Structure formats: structure tokens, C-alpha cells
């Protein structure tokens, strides 16, 4: 429905007609009971005001409140009340909002505000005024709520104007937060920038899954959503893609799926990552030093292999190393290398297979596990089990056979 139809006026209406139509519907349907309706009404009101090329700030005059506010039997001086409102609007639009705040703080100290009827009339007039101002003066509205303690009223007993003010405060916070996210999304190589782009952009679950791999990203999103829910729920309700919001809410609630290296890898593999340099160094030294020290370093290297790869892989690796050393020893080029000790050859094969297995296993865990998470495939991430290790070792053996050639006994 077009804005003029929502307001139920002609498109050539002036500002007074637009304002009266807005206030009429605002008074007939309570914003707190139907916030979506109020959003449509407010958007139509702002569109209509902008259409006639004006700021949309209705000037207060003697007729501004008389048809819309029902004063009590003994009302205060209407002219004096309106003079306060007029002066407040003059400070707001001809100076700045800070000046209007100062003026509001000062006038509430006047003797007029000691009179119950005058204060009640002023509050009603101020609520009425704030609900119609475009752009909405956020700081002024917050100060009025604080001064007159409007927030103590529950939603059920709030006037339509006060309910509209509270919704406009939330919407203004949402607009400011959206601008903050848009500004943040323009930064490069920044965690929050990537997350802001994901929230503001189209619905892309595969991209969200990739970002959700990091617990830090989820923590940032959770912190943002907590702030949005408290201060600017309209941002989640109207500005952001509903599917995007729902996806991230579910991601925050779900039990964490492994994402980082420490999460994807078991403790055994983490130990392998930590001690692999020592393992390689021990095997290297065992090959370089004479027989006496060779035995010491070999024992250290085999001890690390047994401790961090487990008995099963220890024996599988040694068995494959025996096969590989046999293959190498039957090649014509092996005689030219000059390795006379078969134990040293076996040790060299063990180190070769172990390092190859470690690198391939780690890559498969990181790449394979990450791909499964991104694609949304849920599987057991402890993929360093015996059957998987056996398949990987077999692949390594076949790759070496292809590289070195099939056994060819030396004659």
C-alpha cells in the first residue's frame, strides 16, 4: 500500500493535513499493541513530509495542540505552555539539540512546574510533539523520559504518543547501529568487518558456516546480538535479513562444532604437532652420529614415536618401513648412496613414513574437517583412528612404490 493510502490522504496534502492524518491514526491504534502497523505508519508519515521538500518538523503554534489534547477542567495557561514548547523547538531546530536539552533542564525548575495540572499538560504536549518530529530527536526524548520518569509506566498504560516515542527511540538506535555496522564493514582484514559484511549482506549459509568455525567470531556475534536485543531490537526485526538473524541465533545456541586447530585435532595430534620437531631431530641425529650415539638417539626417536602415535601405528609404521627398506635396497641406485647399515636404512624409512603420515593426517583433519563443517556435514571429527591411519599408511606406501619402483633384486 502506498504512503498516501496508509495515511488516507491525497498526495497533494500540506504538512498540517499530513500531521493530522498521522496523529489521528496514531491515536486510534496503540503502537505498543501493533508495532508493525506503527512502523508502516511512521514510514508513510516521513515519506509524505520528505515529499513536500521540508524538514518535517511541525512548527508549534496556537492551534497545534488545541484540537488534539484534552486538557483537564482547570487547565494551565495554554499560551504559556505553548510558549515553552515553541522555545524548545526553536532551540532544537535553529540552534542544536544540546541547546534544547539545556533549555528543557532549565524550564522544569520554573514555578509553573510545581502545579500538577501545568506539569501534566506540558508532559502531554511534549509527548505529542516528540511523536511528530522528523528527524526524531533521540537525545531530547531520552532526557524527557529521564526527567519526567515516563519509563515507569508499563506498556499497557502508556499513551499512544509515549509508546510511539519508545518505538522511535528503539528505531533510531537501530539506524545508528546499522550505520555503525556499515562503517565497520568497510575496513579491510578485520574480524569485525568480515562479520559486519556477513550480517548486512545477503543470506549465504556456506559463508556463515565458514565464519562460525572460529569461536572468537561466535563470541563477537553473541555480544552484538545481546546488545541489539537490549537496545535496538528493530535492527534485528526490520533491517537485517530474517534468515541471517535466525541462522546466527541457532549457531550461537548450538553446541560448538570443531573449527580451530585445537578443536579439530585430538589431544594426541596436538602432542604430535608439539613434539614432531624433537622427533625429526632425534632421527636425524641418529643417522648422522657414529654407532654409539646412533643407538641413543634411535631409542629416543622410537620412544617418541611409540608415545605420541600409539602402539598400533608404531607397529604399522615399522612394518611399512621394513617393506619400504626392502624395496629401496633392491634398487640399483641404492648401492651408490653408501648406506651400509640396514638399521640406518630402516630408521630413515621410519622417519620418512612418520613425517609423511603426520603431514597428510594433519592436512586431512584441517581441510577435510573444515570442508565438512562448511558444507554442513556432521561427522565424527576424531579421524585419526586405527582404520583411518591404516588407509593413510597404505596410501603412503603405494606412493613410495610408485616413486621408487617395484622390488628389483640386485644381481
Residue 94 counted as domain residue? yes
Q: What is the pLDDT of residue 286?
A: 67
Q: How far apart are the C-alpha atoms of 248 and 218, rounded to whole Å?
A: 8
Which position has the higher pLDDT, 289 or 230?
A: 230
From 268, 296, 299, select the one nearest 361 (Cα to Cα).
268
End residue of a domain, out of 173, 192, 222: 173
Percent of residues, the chain, with pLDDT higher than 70? 69
Q: Which of 105-114, 145-154, 341-350 has the highest mean pLDDT?
A: 105-114
Q: Same domain for 223 and 300?
A: no
pTM for the complete prediction? 0.55
Q: Same domain for 14 and 109?
A: yes
Residue 231 counted as domain residue? yes
End residue of a domain, out of 206, 228, 253: 253
pLDDT band at residue 102 under the 50/70/90 scheme: very high
Residue 411 counted as domain residue? no
Residue 356 counted as domain residue? yes
- Average of per-residue pLDDT across 23-50: 86
Q: Same domain for 284 and 223?
A: no
Q: Same domain for 147 and 12?
A: yes
Q: What is the pLDDT of residue 258?
A: 47
Q: Same domain for 316 and 376?
A: yes
Number of separate domains in the chain: 3
Which position has the higher pLDDT, 146 or 361?
A: 146
Q: What is the pLDDT of residue 381?
A: 45
Q: Same domain for 41 and 144?
A: yes
Q: Same domain for 212 and 361?
A: no
pLDDT band at residue 383 under the 50/70/90 scheme: very low
Q: How far apart are the C-alpha atoms of 69 and 124, rounded to whole Å?
A: 8
Q: Same domain for 22 and 105?
A: yes
Q: What is the pLDDT of residue 366?
A: 64
What are 300-328's pLDDT values in tens digits? 777 777 777 777 777 777 777 887 777 77
Q: Same domain for 186 and 277?
A: no
pLDDT at 150 over 80: yes
End residue of a domain, out of 173, 188, 207: 173
Q: Same domain for 221 and 281?
A: no
Q: What is the pLDDT of residue 32?
A: 81
Q: Same domain for 183 and 243?
A: yes
Q: Which domain holds residue 298?
A: 264-404
Q: Same domain for 284 and 298?
A: yes
Residue 410 counted as domain residue? no
Instruction: Round the average pLDDT of the chain to a whole number and report it.
Output: 76
Amino acid at each position: 500500500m502506498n504512503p498516501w493510502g496508509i495515511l488516507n490522504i491525497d498526495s497533494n496534502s500540506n504538512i498540517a493535513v499530513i500531521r493530522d492524518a498521522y496523529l489521528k491514526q496514531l491515536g486510534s491504534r496503540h503502537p505498543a499493541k501493533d508495532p508493525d502497523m506503527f512502523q508502516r505508519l511512521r514510514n508513510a508519515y516521513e515519506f509524505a513530509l520528505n515529499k513536500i521538500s521540508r524538514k518535517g518538523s511541525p512548527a508549534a503554534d496556537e492551534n497545534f495542540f488545541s484540537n488534539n489534547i484534552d486538557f483537564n477542567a482547570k487547565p494551565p495557561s495554554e499560551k504559556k505552555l505553548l510558549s515553552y514548547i515553541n522555545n524548545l523547538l526553536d532551540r532544537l531546530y535553529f540552534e542544536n539539540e544540546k541547546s534544547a536539552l539545556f533549555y528543557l533542564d532549565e524550564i522544569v525548575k520554573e514555578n509553573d512546574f510545581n502545579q500538577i495540572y501545568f506539569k501534566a499538560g506540558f508532559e502531554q504536549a511534549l509527548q505529542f510533539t516528540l511523536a511528530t518530529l522528523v528527524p526524531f530527536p533521540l537525545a531530547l526524548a531520552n532526557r524527557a523520559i529521564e526527567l519526567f520518569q515516563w519509563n515507569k509506566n508499563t506498556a499497557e498504560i502508556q499513551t499512544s504518543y509515549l509508546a510511539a516515542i519508545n518505538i522511535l527511540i528503539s528505531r533510531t538506535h537501530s539506524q545508528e547501529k546499522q550505520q555503525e555496522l556499515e562503517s565497520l564493514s568497510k575496513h579491510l582484514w578485520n574480524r569485525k568487518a568480515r562479520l559486519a559484511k556477513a550480517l548486512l549482506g545477503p543470506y549465504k549459509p556456506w559463508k556463515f558456516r565458514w565464519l562460525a568455525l572460529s569461536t572468537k567470531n561466535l563470541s563477537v556475534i553473541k555480544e552484538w546480538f545481546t546488545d541489539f536485543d537490549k537496545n535496538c531490537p528493530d535492527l534485528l526485526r526490520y533491517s537485517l535479513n530474517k534468515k541471517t538473524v535466525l541462522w546466527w541465533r541457532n549457531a550461537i545456541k548450538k553446541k560448538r562444532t570443531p573449527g580451530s586447530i585445537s578443536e579439530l585435532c585430538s589431544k594426541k595430534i596436538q602432542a604430535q604437532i608439539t613434539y614432531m620437531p624433537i622427533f625429526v631431530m632425534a632421527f636425524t641425529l641418529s643417522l648422522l652420529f657414529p654407532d654409539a650415539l646412533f643407538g641413543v638417539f634411535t631409542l629416543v626417536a622410537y620412544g617418541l614415536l611409540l608415545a605420541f602415535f600409539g602402539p598400533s601405528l608404531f607397529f604399522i609404521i615399522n612394518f611399512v618401513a621394513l617393506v619400504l627398506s626392502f624395496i629401496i635396497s633392491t634398487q640399483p641406485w641404492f648401492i651408490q648412496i653408501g648406506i651400509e647399515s640396514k638399521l640406518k636404512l630402516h630408521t630413515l624409512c621410519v622417519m620418512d613414513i612418520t613425517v609423511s603420515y603426520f603431514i597428510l593426517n594433519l592436512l586431512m583433519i584441517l581441510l577435510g574437517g573444515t570442508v565438512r563443517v562448511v558444507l554442513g556435514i556432521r561427522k565424527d571429527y576424531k579421524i585419526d583412528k586405527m582404520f583411518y591411519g591404516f588407509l593413510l599408511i597404505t596410501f603412503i606406501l603405494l606412493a613410495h612404490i610408485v616413486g621408487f619402483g617395484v622390488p628389483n633384486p640386485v644381481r
